[in-house]
Structure formats: C-alpha cells, structure tokens
Structure 1
Amino acid sequence: MADAIPRSPTKPELFADCVFLFRSGRVHYYDDADAAAAAVADDTTAVAVDTSTNESGYISFTLRPPWKVSYLDLHWPYGIPESPNLVLLRIASARMNHRFGAPDLFVYTFGPSSPPPSVRRLPACTEMTQDLACGRMFLKVDTNLGILCRGGDPNNYVVADLVVSWKERSFPDEHDFTTNPPEMFAALCTFSSKKGHWTTKEMLAPQPHGQGQFPYLWYCDRVVPFAGRFLCWVDFYSGIVFCDFSDEDSPVLHCTPVPGNQKISDKRLIERYCPESFRNVSVSQGMIRFVNIDNDWQDLQTSDRAITVWNLMMTGNCWSWEIQHKINLDDLWADCGHKDLDLPAPLMPELPVLSKNDLDVLCCVLREDRFSGRTWIIHVDLKQLSFVICVLHNNEQIVCQRDAIDNKEHNNFLPLVPWLRCDIPRYLNQPQGN
C-alpha cells in the first residue's frame, strides 16, 4: 500500500481557474517507494493510490496556463471528463486480466469540501450487455465512460457507461439495415457513490427530437456532464443522448441530433475520420454548445470554410439549436495575418475547445504538418475576429526510448486527442478548509 504523502509547509501557488488536461497520463518511475513519495512531497495535487493488483503509487497533476497543455502524472492513467471537482481515472497495468475484466476506475476528488485531494477506487464491475449485438462487458471502452457530480457535492456522484445496439437475434447477418433499420436498445451501467455498487438497466433507445428513429450507426465519441443532472453521450456526427439522473433509480434517456444540414455517409459513420479534430461539444456558462470547423475531411460541396458555434436552447420538451457565431476562415486570416503571428502560412484550426467562461473564445490547434511539424495553441475571439493567444506548443509527454526519437519531432508532437477542461486550479487557489 502506498504511504501517506509527507507534506512540507509551502506558500500556495496560484493557477488559472481552468486548464486543458491531456487525456493520457505521463509515467514516472523511481528506485523505491521512498523516492516516489519524496518526489511528490510538496505537490498539493498528489494523492496515494493502490490498484486491484496491489500495485502502489501516487497520482498528481502538472498544471499549466490555459495556453499550454496540463498533464496527469503517475502510472497507466487515462483521464475521463469532467465534473467541476471530480476526475475519473482509468488505470490499467500488465498484471490485469483485460480479457475477463475492465481496468480499474478511480475517482479523484478535490474541492473546498474535501481538502486535501483524495482518491477512491471503484469496485469491479463484471456486468455484460444482454442479447445486444455488440455483446461486450461494460467499462471496456474509454470514450463511453462519464462521471456526474450531483448537486455540487463531490461525495455525491454517478459514474456511468452507455451501450446502444440492436438485439443480436433480431436480424440475420445479411439483413440490409439501410432499407429496414433495426429497433435500437440502450444498456446503462451505473455506479452511485451513495449506494456503493454497480447497477444495470436496459431500455429502448430514445427517439431523436423530431428526427424519426434512433440512428443504428450511432457511436459515442465523448461524454459530457451537464447541469448536475445529465450525462450526455455525444456522437459528433449523429446526435447527443442525454441521461437524466434526477431520479437515480429511474434514469430517463433523451436524444437530440447535432446541428447542421450536412448529410453524413454510412462509410464516414463507420470509419469515423477523427471527428474530434474538427467538432466538439462542451458546456459554457450553463449551456450545451456545439462547434464545427469545416475542413477537407468532410466532403463539403463548397470551397467556403467556416467556424460555426451553436447553443442548445432547452425550453421544456422543446429543444433547438441556435447559431451564436459563424465566421469565415478566409476572413479570419485576412483580419489576422499569419505573418504577424509568426506562422508559416494560414493553417487549418483543429481540436476545437470552447472556453468555459467566455462565450466568444475558442481554443484550437494549428499544425504546420499533420505529424511532425510545429504546432501552435491558439485562442480566437470569434466576436472580434482576433487571436487572443498564439503560443508554440512544446510536448512534455514522457517516452521510453527518448534517444531513438528526434528531439525536434518529439517536441512538436501533439496527437489528435481531445483535451479535458478541468477546474482543479480553481480549488487549489482557495485556502484549505474554505
């Protein structure tokens, strides 16, 4: 078992209220447990952790300003979005039997009601989907997992996995789904911090608002918590499935299509083509927001390229998307010359992330080359058509064989993985116990 962290009194460090957290953690190795404990002794984010296979270590965070990338540090972590004062971690090691079980899940808790930070390993879940064509255990797919903090209490949360498919026996293999789409079912697996165990429930997949049947090629790209009440499973091409946890014992599903009139081919729905590189869904100032950047991967019928941001307006049972911003990329580069920003040419923005507190600001990535060129992190004011920040990215990921990798290429590398917005710094800035 990992030892408690020896703390030494230090002056509190102040951070930006919100950071962008890289999803995959960095691995650090030490000669012994004492060396590991000493390395995190003065880190206010560090907490001891033990896995189900009796491996011990410490979890901490390296926090950067919002124009840089922040990191989760320790062994085997995978960060999963994203409640105001909770982070869900997925940790796997070589000693785990991944064929018959899912990796360990941990909930890292921070906030004024729970100083210092703490971590809880969730009990194992052996449940499987029943009779669905996907036929898999729950908790095996990273992008399907989400965590919801209820009522602002970091000790009252729900962790959930949603699987949507058709019944395995409903159709033979040669069935043509395009002419006769199957009836879709949703299987929900939920852990409640109050109950302390996993429960499963199967129900009909929700009918999209005003859009006929649930799409049979629906796929979950990410999960977003909303309003302390909903977990939202997002398919960037098809739509958003909302699970209302107002009554934890009887969760209710809703669905709304994503905005825009673009027809997505079945080929693209199956092969995906990295939709997270040009689309995203997030919550800003209490609203669900969708951003799309037109690019060459979308089979567009026009040469115009635009950044469009919609807000989801929810009035009773009436849900609709309203455009808040739409700017032409050529106009953006005309008003903000690339040479003024020390860029080699006008570049295509990627990995869009909407600001949590400013409805007009969008964070993106610019790449000189898709794999090995320089990379910049930018903040764009969509209302003023101006760049707020443009900073050259420096990769701080740890690699095993550093000597075998060109340093320049390594420093530029930024994979097409969407970041997590995280509020850890806001709680670290508050006095302990306040």
Structure 2
Amino acid sequence: MDDGDEPVPYVMDEGVLLPLLFPPPLPADDDATGGVSPSWVYLEDRAYVSPDAVSNSTTAFSTTTTGVSIHVSFCLARPPRLSYLCVHCPRPGDGEGAYRFTVDPQVLGTHTNVALLRVPHPNDGLHRGIKSYDYFVYTARPGPGASSLRLLPNPRVSPFRNEEVAIVRCSGGARYVIACLMPTIRRPMEFKIRRFDSDVGRWKSTAVSISEPVERDRVLPIPDTASQVVFHCTTKVITLGGTIGWVDLWRGILLCDDVLDQHPVLRDLPLPKPARSNRKSFCRGPPHHYRDITVVVQDSVPTCIKYVEMETRPGDRPPPRQRQPPQHSDDSDSDEEEDVAYYWKANIWSMPIPVGSWEDWQMECTVDVTDIAVDNVRFSELLPKIGNDPEETLRRLVTGFPTLGMDGDVISFLSKINRLDDKGWVISVDLRSKTLQGVAEIDERKYFLFERYYNTSEISKYLIKATGEAGTLVKTGVNSRVSKKKM
C-alpha cells in the first residue's frame, strides 16, 4: 500500500453472521427438587447467543480483547434434557441490540467448578486463526452474582483443536491448569503439551515423551483399511482427579499424571478390542457415532473409567420421509441406505481407578435395544409415534452417538426417525434395569445434523438456583456494566 492510500474498511456481510437465538425456558418439573442442581448434566458444547440482555444467578461478566462487554450464564436441566451456556454481547448504548458471531461460542471443557470457554470476536468476518478468538475461564461459585469470568492471554503461536484441550482444577486451592496435547510434525509418537498455569498467567510449551511399554500397536494395530494412519488422534479428553487422559476413541488413552512437571510423561492405555462385527469398520471415519468414554464420579471422587462401543445389525426400515431433506444439511455421509434403522446393542466396559494395565478392562454389561422396556407412560408419550408400541418405536429409530453418564448407571443416545430430519431426541436408558429412563426433544433451531453436540459435566454441583423456573434467564432490560471485582 502506498503512503497516500487510505485503508479500505471491512464491510461485514450479514449473511456470514449466525442468527441470535433466545434460549428455551428450563423445564418447570425440575422445580420439584427444591432448586437443588443435579450432580452432573449433559452440557451443550455450543452456546446460545441471546439478542437480549438476560441473567440468572449464574451470570458472570467480563470484556473481550476488542473491548466488547460479554455476559455468560449457565442454564441447567436434569438429564436427558440438555443444559446450556448463554452468551450476550451488548452493543454500546441502550436499545442497540447485541453483537453477532460468525462462529458459535463454545464450552471446550469443564472440571469441578471451572469451565474453559472459547469466544470468537463479535461481528468479526476476518478469520485470522487463533487470534480471532478469546479464551475465558468461568469459575462457578454459590450465590447470585458470585461466579466470575476471567479473560486469558491468547495462546497465539500454537492453535489447537477443541478435542485436544482440558482444564483441571488443582486440589486444595484456586489454581487450575489448561493443557493441550498436540502432535509434532516430525515423528508420529512425539508430542508437546501447550499449557496455561493460572498461578503463572502465561502459556508454555513442553515436549513430552511416552513411557514404555507402548502396547497400542501390539493390542490394536492400525488396519490397512484405516482412513488415516496415525499413532494417536485425540477425539476426547477425560480427567481423573489431577490426571488428564487424551483419548483416541479408536485405539487408546494417553495419560499424564502431572502436566506441571518439568518433564511430563505420558502412559499408553489401549482401549478394549473392537467387537467382531465392528472389525471391518475399525479406524474408519469419526468414532463418536458408536463410541464414548467417561469418568464415573462418586462423592466428587473419580472411581472408574467407563467405555462403550455400539454394535448394529439390520432391523426395520423407518417410515418414508414426509418431505425433502433440508437444504441446509451438509452431511457428507447422508446416503439413502443410511436410513435403515439398524438394531443395536451397546457393550459397556469399565476400568478401575487408579488405572492399571490394558488387561484390567472388564466387560460390565450389554444393553440391547430389543430388551429395553418402556414402563413409564410419560416417557412413552414423549417418543415419536412410528410404531405400534413404544418398544417398537425404539427399535425403528435411527440411533447413535452414545454418551455415558457420570453416575455410571445411565447411557444416552441421539435418535431420529430419519437421519436427515431436523427433529431429534435424546433418549436415556438405565444400564441396570434396561428401562427407558427419559426422553428429551432437542432444539432443532440450533441442531439439525445427526451428530453429538453435548458432553457430561459436573459443574452443575457448584451452581445454585440454575434449574427450573429459578434458572430460566430473565431479560434485564438494560445492558449491565462489567463487574469490577477481581476475577
């Protein structure tokens, strides 16, 4: 640009901005618990962006690096209903509305009473990689207005995928650590940990090694039919107290007991071998459709790891689609034959904590869709009507994306009549009694693809008056000022 040239201002194309959505009210029947929050929830990973200034007892305030005020609030519902985060960024001046985003704000992870949030710069259509985002840590505290929102320094040099990052609250204080495990380019078994220590206040990268023995290639070798040949690709992160586990849902877990160590070490824990019927599809495509892993927590103490793998077999074909597939669906895997509602069963394995060897995995139970009883009239009324009875309806639904509950007794699935439909349900099954435990319809304004968009979280234990009528967001009518208290 010549010295005399004026910079050309960027004009935002309204078409690239996501719509503002006022979040749904919380279910009134949660009021029967007296306002006591559930010990764990299914938390949506994508936030609602509200057009209005709203608040409840969980609302916290901060400011983005671009100087925009940001309000965040949690709204909790008992599983299988989904809990969610609501974000509002008011424009300056009364009655000026709210900023919009080109990408949804997201909850990247939670641990005990802290949550890591990623928020794109409001109304920013110039995507500049990691510099286009702000990272915040939300700390839940009991009492209205007691929670806080801290803006973190931008990681800048090392962008990371959402699936690679974990936040861990250190025991005995206010300290927390954020850690991302990223592969290096040179060698498949070399990694680095990008970490943020709240006591230090800056990001740091450290090379990390894998301790011997590395059993994964012996126990679960990569087949020739694999869609990608990598030693480890993180698809989920779990926390076992102060230990972080980066999970490749195809092959295994890389565990790190102390990410703050000067020379952190990873331990390799292979997953159970795939079921015989799934061996042809092993390491092909995304694993979330049929696999999940979680840590069971009792009295705030992690007790075991649970892992699930679904198997399918041909079942009944669902009813003909009543309309054309939605034009906004960009599901690249949406061939017509995928609409066969395969019968399924879910095999659940467990690993005691402290974690030992791969041989300590134990098959705990199996849930078959043909064995699930629907003995609650209210739940049967919430199911879509596509069969002669509720049990037949369950068998005819297209079902996938298992999600294990943190209590160890529940598993949930995402179900649709046809996988290209907008409307879907989260169905919950009791692992012990093999009965339907709940049904919740999802918000099709926000989610229309057949994919998982929520994870388990225990942050609900640290929030009060966040369920039912008390937790429902209320319009404040004015743009609140950013809290000046120490974050």
1:383 aligns with 2:432: yes
Which residue is equivalent to 1:62?
75
Q: CA deviation at 1:58?
A: 0.5
Aligned pairs for 1:67-146 within 5 A: 67-74=80-87, 76-93=104-121, 94-95=123-124, 98-99=128-129, 101=131, 103-112=133-142, 116-127=146-157, 137-139=158-160, 141-146=161-166
Which residue is equivalent to 1:306?
345
Which residue is equivalent to 1:159?
178
- The 3-state SS of whatever aligns with 1:426 is helix
Q: CA deviation at 1:230?
A: 1.2
1:15 aligns with 2:37: yes
1:252 aligns with 2:265: yes
Cα distance, 1:388–1:266 mapped onto 2, change above 3 Å: closer
1:220 aligns with 2:234: yes
Q: CA deviation at 1:316?
A: 7.0
CA distance in 2, matches of 1:283, 1:343: 32
Partner letter of residue 53 of structure 1? T
Which residue is equivalent to 2:51?
29
2:367 to 309, 327, 342: 327
- The 3-state SS of whatever aligns with 2:163 is helix
Q: CA deviation at 1:268?
A: 6.5
Q: CA deviation at 1:247?
A: 5.0
CA distance in 2, matches of 1:47, 1:335: 42
Paired residue total: 365
Which residue is equivalent to 1:8?
none
Q: CA deviation at 1:361?
A: 1.7
Q: CA deviation at 1:335?
A: 9.9
> Aligned residues: percent identity?
23
Which residue is equivalent to 2:485?
none
CA distance in 2, matches of 1:97, 1:345: 43
Q: CA deviation at 1:18?
A: 2.1
Q: CA deviation at 1:205?
A: 4.3
Which residue is equivalent to 2:295?
283
Aligned pairs for 1:409-424 within 5 A: 413=448, 415-424=450-459
CA distance in 2, matches of 1:394, 1:278: 20
Q: CA deviation at 1:370?
A: 0.8
Which residue is equivalent to 1:406?
none
- The 3-state SS of whatever aligns with 2:461 is helix
Cα distance, 1:119–1:415 mapped onto 2, change above 3 Å: farther
1:189 aligns with 2:191: no
CA distance in 1, matches of 2:211, 2:118: 28
For structure 1, the residue ranges without an aligned partner over 5 or more in a row are: 1-10, 31-35, 128-136, 168-181, 298-302, 399-409
Q: Is the 8 A contact 1:313 1:322 kept in 2?
A: no
1:429 aligns with 2:443: no
Q: CA deviation at 1:45?
A: 1.1
Q: CA deviation at 1:120?
A: 0.8
Cα distance, 1:282–1:418 mapped onto 2, change above 3 Å: farther
1:351 aligns with 2:362: no
Q: CA deviation at 1:304?
A: 8.0
Q: Is the 8 A contact 1:395 1:414 kept in 2?
A: no
Which residue is equivalent to 1:173?
none
CA distance in 1, matches of 2:403, 2:197: 29
Q: CA deviation at 1:156?
A: 1.2
Which residue is equivalent to 1:130?
none
Q: CA deviation at 1:322?
A: 1.0
Higher relative contact order (CA 8 A, sep 6+): 2
Which residue is equivalent to 1:201?
206
CA distance in 2, matches of 1:390, 1:28: 26
1:395 to 434, 443, 460: 443
Q: CA deviation at 1:334?
A: 10
TM-score between both structures, scaled by the size of structure 1: 0.73
Q: Is the 8 A contact 2:129 2:159 kept in 1?
A: no
- Greater mean alpha carbon deviation, residues 60-69 or residues 92-101: 92-101
Which residue is equivalent to 1:367?
416
CA distance in 2, matches of 1:225, 1:234: 11
Q: Is the 8 A contact 1:242 1:254 kept in 2?
A: yes
Partner letter of residue 421 of structure 1? T
For structure 2, the residue ranges without an aligned partner over 5 or more in a row are: 1-30, 89-103, 223-228, 314-332, 334-341, 381-386, 467-487
**CA deviations over 1:90-120 (Å, ceiling 9, x no partner):** 1112537524636211110013599711011
Q: CA deviation at 1:63?
A: 1.9
CA distance in 2, matches of 1:304, 1:341: 15
